[in-house]
Amino acid sequence: MASTTDLRVSNLFSLKGYVCLVTGGGTGIGLMATQALAANGAKVYITGRRKEVLEKAAKEHDPASDGSQQGGQIIPVGPCDVTKKADLEKLCKEIESKEKHLSLVVAAAGISGAKGPPDTSDAEKLKETLWQEDPEEWSATWNTDVTSVFFSTVAFLPLLQRAPSDQAKSVIVISSMSGMMRHSQAHFSYNAAKAATVHLTRMMSKEFAKTGVRVNSIAPGYFPSEMTMKESDERNKAHMPDEKVKDKGHEVPAGRSGTDEEMAMAVVFLSRCGYVNGEIVKLDGGVLNEVGS
């Protein structure tokens, strides 16, 4: 039975002693997740394809850089291309040489894929526009947004299983609201891939349950990131103005993009609550209430 003191937020959501890995952890939502975990005491390894981006993220956002004595650490590892099994195997060995276990893996690496707006009722024009999409780009989107999520999870299952029993060991997959709506948003390949990622999360949660590792997903709506805004600032951060959100062809009830703080709340909740498994947390400002499938 919990005492009142046990139910303090600082106790409920402390991540001290947690060892985490975030793929795509140098920018965007991956960096938001990294900051949230480190701010609450976790040691967070971040990886991605660009070593300089990882090092910059660690330098700019490690809790110690803000003078905090309570936070954890941000440690760049790799680089690692998560679409390559050899890179994942190398990364796994590198982390095993440093740690006895992992408490959490956040699969945040992703790309947006080709864009082909189907804004016409003329079938000939529609074909002309969409036929120009490259099957290799579709494959690249699928490999990054779906296949790599599967292999990134599988690669680290043994390390996750070794986590102490008092840690709610898990995987958090960053999917998207785009995989849960009928609208293509002019991104057929991306939305199809994210729909697969959503279902992959559910399958992994069921099939991996016997290992004791939970698998959940966050399906973000409009959040500022290098992928959505095509650039990052000097701190690897991006900004999404309100007018950008209001011009989406459908209503965004919140009227704005999501914030770092809101993403952090979802990440920390799924990291700590061991009674949640196989869930897709829609962090979308209400969009799927309007245009969900």
Alpha carbons 152 and 145: distance in angstroms, whole number:
11
Residue of 103, 112, 152, 175 marked active site: 175
Centre a 10 Å sphere on the Cβ of residue 42 and count the other Cβ atoms it contains: 26
Annotated active-site residue 194? The verdict is yes
Annotated active-site residue 175? The verdict is yes
CA atoms within 13 A on the CB side of 255: 0
Annotated active-site residue 45? The verdict is no
CA atoms within 13 A on the CB side of 51: 3
Alpha carbons 28 and 243: distance in angstroms, whole number:
20
Alpha carbons 119 and 122: distance in angstroms, whole number:
9
Residue of 43, 56, 169, 194 marked active site: 194
Helix or strand holding residue 271 (H, E) = helix 260-272
Residue of 170, 190, 232, 282 marked active site: 190
48: exposed, middle or buried (Cβ count in 10 Å: 0-12, 13-18, 19+): buried
Which of 173, 170, 169 lies closest to 150, judged by CA?
A: 173
Which of 200, 195, 286 lies closest to 245, judged by CA?
A: 286
Residues carrying an active site annotation: 175, 190, 194
